[in-house]
Structure 1
Amino acid sequence: MKKGLFLSGEEKAAANYYSVFNPHTEGLIGEAADGTPSEMSEAIEKADEAYKKMKTLTSNEKAGILSRAATILRDRKEEAARIISQEACKPVTAARTEVQRTVQTLQFSGEETKRMNGEYLQLDAAEGGEGRDAYTLHESIGVVGAITPFNFPLNLVTHKVGPAIAAGNTIVVKPAEQTPFSSLLLAEILSEAGLHPGAIAIVPGDGKTLGEVMLKDERIKKISFTGSPEVGKLLKAEAGLKKMTLELGSNSPMYVDQSCRGEVSEVAEKSVKGAFAYNGQVCLSTQRIYVHEEIFDDFIQECSEKTARLQFGDPLEESTEVSSLINKKSQQRLYEWIKEAKAEGAEVLAGGEKVGNGLEPTILSNVSSTSSISCKEAFGPVVIINKVKSSEEALEQMNNSRFGLNAGVFTNDLKQAVDMAHRIEAGQVLINDVPTLRFDHMPYGGVKDSGYGREGVKYAIEEMTELKMISIKYR
C-alpha cells in the first residue's frame, strides 16, 4: 500500500515517502508520506480554518459523528486489526482487542461531549456579591497537536482525537514513524462519519522535524504527547504557554502479600499476562514484582511454568502470544540489560535469549535496584521478581523509582491495601489487579518522570478546554 497525507477530509499525495517494514518478517508493508515542515504547516492551517466550523457544532452533532465512527470501525474490525498487527508487530488477537477498545473510546468520547457541564457559583458568599448569578463552562481551545507512539497505534491516537473532537477542537496528528497506517485509517473513518473536512489531519514523518513545527506554530494551542521522558521534557521546556499533556515512561511495580497464599496460581497468571502482553511494549507493563518471602518460591515456580508455555511466532498467527520487538535496537538494548543484571548477581528464571527479531519472555530474580533493567523502563518482555520480608520493604522498593505511573497490590488485608494505596507514589494504584490494567474512561497519567496531566476521555476533554466564568447582575 502507499498512503499520503490526510488533509481536508481526504488523502493527498506527499512530496516524499518512506518505506514501512514488518518488524517480524522484515517484509515491506507499504509506503507512507514523509511529511515536510511545509506540509505540517499546511495541515495546521487547514485545521485552524476548520476550527471556525467545529466550535459551532452542538454537543448532539459531535456525539453523532463519534458514535457513527465507532459503528464504522466495528464493522471494519478485522481490517483494522490486520493493519495494527502488521505495522506494530502485535499478535492479531491483541490487535482485535485494541480495535474493540478503540470503539469504546470513540463511544465514551461521544457520551462525554454531552456531559461537559460547568457549575453554579454563589457569588453572594463574598461581600458585595449580592444580586449576581454566576456559572462556569468549558470552551474549546482551537488546534490540538498530537504526537503518538507505536505500541497502540489506533487506540492511543483515538485517546487524543476523540476528546479533541468532543471538546469542539480540531487536531493534527504526527503518528509514530513505524505505525502511520492505523491513524490514517482512523481519519478516513471519521471523515466517513461526517467530521468536517480539515478537523483532523495526519502527517507522518520524522518526529523531531515535525514536532518543532508544532511547537513553533502559535495556532497550535495544546500539545498532547505520548513517548519517552527525555523527549517529553524537551517539549515542555520549549512549549511556552501552550497547554501540555505528557504521557511518559514507567517501570510499573507490584506487591504480592503472603495473605494471597491460596491464590498464588491465579495471581501468577495475571502477572505473566501483565508482564508479557504485547511483548511488554506497554507503558503500564508489569516490570517489577515484589513477593513476600513466605510465598516467594511457589510464586516464581508458577510464573516460570506459565511463561514457558507462551507461544512465540508471526503476529498474524492466531496462536501467537508474543512476537518480535518493534526493532532490533530494542532487542539488543534489552539483551545487554539482561547480561548486565546477570553480571551483578541476578538469576534468570525463564528466557533471557534472543529469538528471531524478539526476545524470549524473561523472568529475572535477585535484581539490584540500580540495575538498568530495574531502574529504567524495559518496554520489552522482561519482568523482575524479587523477594521481600514485609510490605514495608516492598513499599520502599516500589517507590524507589524515577517513575510513577501505575502500581498494583495483591493482598487480602484491607487495612494494608488502603495504607499502601495512599503511600505508593503513582498516578493510579490498583488493588488486586496488575498495574497493566487500564480502562479507557478512567483517569490516566503519572507523577515524577511518568508524565504531566491526565488522559482518559473525560479528563482529556477537560485538558483540551478552557474554563470560563460568566456572571450576571440581576439586581
Structure 2
Amino acid sequence: MSKLVNKSMSTKRFLIINGEKVETPKYASLYSPYSGEEIAQIAMADKDLTIQAITAAYNARELMAKMPAYQRANILEKVVALLKEKADEAAEIISRESAKPIMFAKAEVERTIETYKFSAEEAKRIHGETIPFDAAVGGVGRIGYTLREPIGVVGAITPFNFPMNLVAHKVGPAIAAGNTIVLKPASQTPLSALFIAEIFEEAGLPAGVLNVVTGPGGIVGDAIVEDDRVSMVTFTGSPSVGIGIRNKAGLKKTTLELGSNSALIIDKDIDIDQMIDRCIMGAFSNQGQVCISLQRVYAHEDVYEQFVAKFTEAAKKLKIGDPLDPDTYISSLISRGEAERVLGWIEETKYSEATIVTGGKLQDGILEPTIITDADHSLKVSCQEAFAPVVIVNKVSSVEEAIGQVNDSRFGLQAGIYTNNVKNALYASRELHVGGVMINDVPTYRVDQMPYGGVKESGTGREGIKYALEEMTEMKLVVWNQS
C-alpha cells in the first residue's frame, strides 16, 4: 500500500493518487532555472505507484462516464472561478519553476482560465448526428444516430514550457468528455500540475478522476503508455519521445504535438514598423521555448535590410534578468544543458557564411536574444528546433521561393505570411505544408479553442478543446429497425 503524507513536511511535494497525497521512497530536488536555488523536493514515482494511479483512474471511469454533462461543466466552472481567485499565486508558481518571465506567466494563467472555460462549455455540446438510412436501398425502414462516449482512461504527458495551460489542454477536454486521467507533468515543472490538481479537488472532482504522478519519463511515461487499461495517450514534447510513444502505444489512440522550426514569410510592400512587435513576441517570448516560436524568417529582398535593422534594434532593447521582475522579457532557459546545446548550435554558424547580427552569448547565465542572417538550411539553427531565443533571417526574391524554403523541413506545425497581395496570401495558404497558416501574423499565434496540430514530424491529431474532445471520445452508432 502507498504511504500517505505527514503534512508537516512542507517542502516536499507528493503524488496525487485516488484523491490522496502519496509519499514515495525517493525524492528529487527541484531547482530554479534562474537562481539555482532549491524550490522543493519532488516525489519520484516507480512503476508500481504509476500502476496504482492507473488503477485509481480505471476504477473511477464508470463514475465519471455516468456523471451528467451539467455536473462536469459545473466542476470545470468552479475551477475557472478558483483559478481567477488564485491567478497571482499560479503565475508565481509558473515563473519560479520554469523561469518564465512573470509577464508571460500571468498571460499563461489567463489562457489557462479560458481553456477551462471552453472545456466547461464544450462539456454541454457533446453530440452525435442522425444518419439518413433511406438514402441506401438497404436502409429503408431504419433510423440511426451516433453517440459520443468517453474513451476511458487518458494518459497525459505534458511539457515544461506551458506547464499550466498545456495541462489544461489535456485535463480540461478529458474531464469535459467524462474521462479519467493519469497526468505525468514535466520533471522541471511539476508544481503547476499539482497546484491545478488541488484546485480540481476543491472544485468537487471525485477522487481518482485526476491522478498526478511525478517522476522519470522512462519509468512513469512508459508505464502509462504500455498499460492496456489506458485507452489514449496525449503527449506534447520532442519528436524522438513522441515517436517512441507511438511505437509502444499499440492500438491506443495517440495525440502527439511534437514541435517545429516555424517560419514567417515577409512579402514586399509591407509596412515593417507595424509587424516588428509581433515578430519580437513570436521569436523571444518565453525565451523562444514555444512549439510555434518564430525561428525562421524569409524576407523579400525589397524589405530585407529594413526588417533586419529594425528587428535587431528592437531585440537589443529587451530586458534580460530575474523572471519575477515585471519588466523582464528574457530570462533563463529551462536548464544549463539547454543553454550549452544552443550555444553549440550558434558556434556552428561561425564556420559558415552566416552572420550573428546580435546576441549569441550568455549574459549572467541568460542567452541573449539572437538574430542570425544568411544561415544555410543545413545549419542546426535552421533545420532543427532551437527552442531558444534564436531566429534566422534570410533574403528571398519571391513568395514562391520563400514557400519552398519553409516547406524544406521535417516539421510542419504553423507558418505565417505578411502580405498585401491577396493572390500571394491564397497561394501561401494552399501551398504551405503545415497544420496552420497565419496570414498577416506570426506563426506563434494561438488561441485555445482553435484546432492546433501539425503534419510531418510535428505530430498527429489536433488540440483545441472541441477537437481534443473528439479525439477523447469514441463514436457509437445506434440503428433502429422499424419494420
Give the shorter-chain TM-score range.
over 0.9
Shift, 1:7, TM fit: 1.5
Q: Normalising by structure 2, what TM-score?
A: 0.97
Distance 2:222 2:73 in 1: 32
Identical positions, percent: 47
Distance 1:389 1:243 in 2: 43
Which residue does the alignment assign to 1:295?
303
**Candidates 260, 269, 280, aligned match of 2:277:** 269
**Candidates 417, 420, 426, aligned match of 2:428:** 420
Distance 1:304 1:146 in 2: 39
Alignment deviations for residues 310-330 of structure 1 (CA, whole Å, 9 cap, x no partner): 000010111110001101111
Shift, 1:15, TM fit: 2.4
Alignment deviations for residues 239-280 of structure 1 (CA, whole Å, 9 cap, x no partner): 1111100000200011011121xx201212211110000000
Equivalence map 1:89-100=2 (5 Å): 89-100=99-110
2:86 is the counterpart of 1:76:
yes
Distance 1:447 1:382 in 2: 23
Which residue does the alignment assign to 1:458?
466
2:218 is the counterpart of 1:208:
yes
**Contact persistence 1:327–1:357 (CA under 8 A):** no
Task: State the SS of the aligned residue for 2:138.
Answer: coil
**Candidates 268, 278, 281, aligned match of 2:286:** 278
Which residue does the alignment assign to 1:338?
346
Distance 1:193 1:357 in 2: 41
Distance 1:198 1:26 in 2: 35
2:227 is the counterpart of 1:217:
yes
2:478 is the counterpart of 1:470:
yes
Shift, 1:342, TM fit: 2.1
Shift, 1:12, TM fit: 2.3
Equivalence map 1:223-234=2 (5 Å): 223-234=233-244
2:139 is the counterpart of 1:129:
yes
2:401 is the counterpart of 1:410:
no
Equivalence map 1:115-264=2 (5 Å): 115-260=125-270, 263-264=271-272
Distance 1:227 1:57 in 2: 32
Q: Which amino acid aligns with 1:75?
A: E
Shift, 1:14, TM fit: 2.3
Q: Which amino acid aligns with 1:436?
A: T
**Contact persistence 2:234–2:255 (CA under 8 A):** yes
Distance 1:166 1:302 in 2: 46
Q: Which amino acid aligns with 1:396?
A: G
Which residue does the alignment assign to 1:445?
453
**Contact persistence 1:251–1:286 (CA under 8 A):** yes
Which residue does the alignment assign to 1:363?
371
**Contact persistence 2:18–2:56 (CA under 8 A):** yes
Task: State the SS of the aligned residue for 1:128.
Answer: helix
Distance 1:364 1:217 in 2: 46
Distance 1:89 1:4 in 2: 22
Shift, 1:356, TM fit: 2.5
Alignment deviations for residues 291-337 of structure 1 (CA, whole Å, 9 cap, x no partner): 00001111111101100000000101111100011011111111111
2:13 is the counterpart of 1:42:
no
Q: Which amino acid aligns with 1:304?
A: T
Q: Normalising by structure 1, what TM-score?
A: 0.99
2:337 is the counterpart of 1:317:
no
Which residue does the alignment assign to 1:326?
334
Distance 1:356 1:218 in 2: 48
Shift, 1:10, TM fit: 3.3
Unaligned residue ranges in structure 2 (runs of 5+):
1-10
Shift, 1:151, TM fit: 0.4
Which residue does the alignment assign to 2:113?
103
Alignment deviations for residues 354-379 of structure 1 (CA, whole Å, 9 cap, x no partner): 12232100000000011111000000
Alignment deviations for residues 43-71 of structure 1 (CA, whole Å, 9 cap, x no partner): 00011111110000111111000011011
Distance 1:376 1:140 in 2: 37
Unaligned residue ranges in structure 1 (runs of 5+):
none
**Contact persistence 2:79–2:203 (CA under 8 A):** yes
Alignment deviations for residues 171-207 of structure 1 (CA, whole Å, 9 cap, x no partner): 0001100000000011110111111111000000000
Which residue does the alignment assign to 1:391?
399
Distance 1:356 1:52 in 2: 53
Poorly superposed stretches of 4+, deviation over 3 Å = none
**Contact persistence 1:425–1:447 (CA under 8 A):** yes
**Contact persistence 1:150–1:179 (CA under 8 A):** yes
Task: State the SS of the aligned residue for 1:195.
Answer: coil
Which residue does the alignment assign to 1:400?
408
Distance 1:97 1:115 in 2: 27
Alignment deviations for residues 214-260 of structure 1 (CA, whole Å, 9 cap, x no partner): 12211101000111001111110111111100000200011011121
Task: State the SS of the aligned residue for 2:35.
Answer: coil
**Contact persistence 1:253–1:398 (CA under 8 A):** yes
Shift, 1:449, TM fit: 0.3
Distance 2:238 2:226 in 1: 21
**Contact persistence 2:321–2:366 (CA under 8 A):** no
Task: State the SS of the aligned residue for 2:474.
Answer: strand
**Contact persistence 1:323–1:358 (CA under 8 A):** yes
Which residue does the alignment assign to 2:3?
none
Task: State the SS of the aligned residue for 2:391.
Answer: strand
* Greater CA drift, 5-14 or 423-432: 5-14
Q: Which amino acid aligns with 2:277?
A: E
Alignment deviations for residues 123-181 of structure 1 (CA, whole Å, 9 cap, x no partner): 11111211111111111011000111000000001100001001100000011000000
**Contact persistence 1:123–1:133 (CA under 8 A):** yes
Distance 2:406 2:426 in 1: 16
Distance 1:97 1:268 in 2: 20
Alignment deviations for residues 415-474 of structure 1 (CA, whole Å, 9 cap, x no partner): 110111110010000001100111000000000000011111000000011011101122
Distance 1:356 1:404 in 2: 34
Distance 1:284 1:21 in 2: 26
Which residue does the alignment assign to 2:381?
373
**Contact persistence 1:324–1:356 (CA under 8 A):** no
What RMSD in Å do the two structures reach over aligned CA positions? 0.8
Shift, 1:9, TM fit: 1.9
